[in-house]
Amino acid sequence: MSTIVITGGKVITMDPANPVAEAVAARDGRVLAVGREPDVLAAAGPGAEVVPAGGRSVLPGFIDPHNHLLSTAESLVAVDARYPGVASAEDLVARIAAEAARTPAGQWIRAYGMDDAKFPGGRPTRRHLDEATTEHPVIVYHVSGHQAVVNSAALAWRGIGEDVADPPGGAFVRDEAGRLTGMVLDSALELLLPVAVDIGCHGPNFHVDLPREQLRSWLEMAAEPYLKAGVTTVCDPQVSRRELEIYRSAWNAGTLPVRTVVMPLSHMLDELASIGLAGPFGDDRLRFGAMKFYCDGTLLGGTAMFGEPYGDNFTGTLYHRPEELTDLVRRAAAAGWQVGVHTQGDRAMGYTLDAIRAAVAVSGDDARPRIEHCGYPTPAQVREFAALGVIPVNQPNFLYDSGTDFVRRLGDSRAHRLQPMREELDAGLRPVLSSDSFVSSLRPMETISNAVRRRTREGGPIGADQAVTLEEALRAHTLDAAYALRMEDRIGSLSPGKLADVVVLDADVQALPADALSGVDAWLTMLDGRIVYRSEGRAASEV
């Protein structure tokens, strides 16, 4: 295998023993040398391919520890309903109607990313979507991924009538006259969608049943946007048989786009325990990580569980009774699993901490329990995180996308302390950054910019005193993310002997104003010692 040397870069290694460098060499899939240019060139020897980075930032490949890879691949080929492209119910109707015009009657139309809190006329209903089409079942996912609005054809397709009962952990929203509006919340989505697996009441079921060849080809098509953003490893935080089959088939064919760590959902605990399977297990391309649990719902959906009501008097909902959650999480830890618990509100956080305490008692000192999203821990809860070694898995893109709405619903004191990353770092924790893609942008530099800026889309502050530095944010998306995945011995820093995953960003990010960070993508991405992405038509001298 050839040797590649990246020279003339501002190398941020994330290796505390050697934090900055000019050049990196890779050979046989591993980092060969990192340091001063003449030393690295000498180590590489004659015949190496030399790539001059032209003063750009060079980093370990980004690691996204909470990224629904397969769902993202599905969303990339679906109707884009994100704000500001879709800013009203009328915009939504127009997009769906256009898609209906080119889709055979009877086929599902899926749209992702609707942010109806920003629509001037309020929530769209089934009646709006019926204007777009009555010939196709239509589902438009809310930006949270935990709810959707559907048309009448979709309800009819599943035989759902006005007399439908709300399932535990979900609801069909009704108008004042008691009629279905078409808005479907959390576990009620399962009654509506053709799902591939039964996950019981363990989380929202977005494991939609689609032909495997289609899913596999969409997964392969997702390689470009991930590598262009500089992502080389993801952790899919909710995996069922459906995802694992597709990932395994792509892994077998050598077409899995990035290193993929999977978190099986808790509904499989007994089956996996019965065959003695627990993470970490697998190889460097596809492996099991932690097991995923759900405590409460979402902030935008009003299903996050807070001690004090918020929004329209929401108090939130739970997926399991608190003692059931503790039992599940403890049993998973006893079976050998690292655990990750989806938790947003402070009241739910208390239940999650009870469960994690039980897990840590079984797993011992190096349990690395994760709290997914980790929306609103109180200061006392953050202190307890430190005692238990909790890893908060933050997604500051939500603060940008929906911060204004959070302030309106939660009030100032709570909204500005959402995802308190500064406080977590100061408490000695290693919080990580992630996207929750498909729910928000998969581009790490957008996430990093939002952690550093703490501003809303409308330009207002959202917890400015919880902002972190650029260097802290970069570490949270590389080395500390590797730690959360128990892979810090092989990825996350540019250290000799580690796997050669490298991103050359298309800027010197340390010289950029914070406002410009979110626009930065990869100029070159190396995965496993091979160059897998190069931006086109830009000379190094342009930097």
The distance of closest approach from Cβ of residue 314 to Zn ion in the complex, given in angstroms and rounded to an integer, is 20
By C-beta, is 231 or 526 nearer to Zn ion?
Answer: 231
236 binds Zn ion (CB under 5 A): no
Contact 393, 373 (CB under 8 A): yes
Handedness of CA 176, 179, 184, 185 (dihedral sign): positive
By C-beta, is 15 or 243 nearer to Zn ion?
Answer: 243
DSSP character string of 209-258: ---HHHHHHHHHHTHHHHHHTTEEEEEEEEE-HHHHHHHHHHHHHT--SS
The distance of closest approach from Cβ of residue 370 to Zn ion in the complex, given in angstroms and rounded to an integer, is 12
The distance of closest approach from Cβ of residue 1 to Zn ion in the complex, given in angstroms and rounded to an integer, is 36
The distance of closest approach from Cβ of residue 68 to Zn ion in the complex, given in angstroms and rounded to an integer, is 6
By C-beta, is 53 or 265 nearer to Zn ion?
Answer: 265
State the Rg of the chain over Cα: 23
By C-beta, is 190 or 436 nearer to Zn ion?
Answer: 436
Contact 232, 258 (CB under 8 A): yes
By C-beta, is 100 or 339 nearer to Zn ion?
Answer: 339
Instruction: Please give the Cα distance from 497 to 500 (Å, whole number).
Output: 8
Q: Which residue is nearest to Zn ion (CB)?
A: 436
Beta bridge partners of 4: 26, 49
The distance of closest approach from Cβ of residue 234 to Zn ion in the complex, given in angstroms and rounded to an integer, is 12
By C-beta, is 400 or 523 nearer to Zn ion?
Answer: 400
In this chain, which stretch among 227-235, 401-409, 433-441, 512-520 interacts with Zn ion, using CB under 5 A? 433-441
The distance of closest approach from Cβ of residue 353 to Zn ion in the complex, given in angstroms and rounded to an integer, is 20
In this chain, which stretch among 132-140, 165-173, 415-423, 428-436 interacts with Zn ion, using CB under 5 A? 428-436
Residue with tokens 């004659």: 46
In this chain, which stretch among 54-62, 159-167, 218-226, 431-439 interacts with Zn ion, using CB under 5 A? 431-439
Alpha helices for 86-184 (secondary structure H): 89-101, 126-132, 152-157
Binder of Zn ion out of 190, 243, 436, 480 (CB under 5 A) = 436
Instruction: Please give the Cα distance from 46 to 31 (Å, whole number).
Output: 17
User: What's the start-to-end Cα distance of the chain, in Å?
Assistant: 30
Q: Tell me which residues in 277-306 interact with Zn ion (CB under 5 A).
A: none
By C-beta, is 43 or 189 nearer to Zn ion?
Answer: 189
Contact 520, 507 (CB under 8 A): yes
By C-beta, is 172 or 398 nearer to Zn ion?
Answer: 398
By C-beta, is 436 or 506 nearer to Zn ion?
Answer: 436
# of chain residues touching Zn ion (CB under 5 A): 1
The distance of closest approach from Cβ of residue 222 to Zn ion in the complex, given in angstroms and rounded to an integer, is 16
In this chain, which stretch among 179-187, 305-313, 384-392, 432-440 interacts with Zn ion, using CB under 5 A? 432-440
* Ramachandran sector of residue 225 (left: φ over 0; alpha: ψ -120 to 50; beta: rest): alpha
For 85-124, give one letter per residue: b (16+ CB within 10 A) or e: ebebbebbbebbeebbeebeeeebbbbbbbbbbbbeeebb
Instruction: Please give the Cα distance from 6 to 45 (Å, whole number).
Output: 13
The distance of closest approach from Cβ of residue 520 to Zn ion in the complex, given in angstroms and rounded to an integer, is 24
The distance of closest approach from Cβ of residue 430 to Zn ion in the complex, given in angstroms and rounded to an integer, is 20
Instruction: Please give the Cα distance from 278 to 272 (Å, whole number).
Output: 7
Give contact residues for Zn ion (rule: CB under 5 A): 436
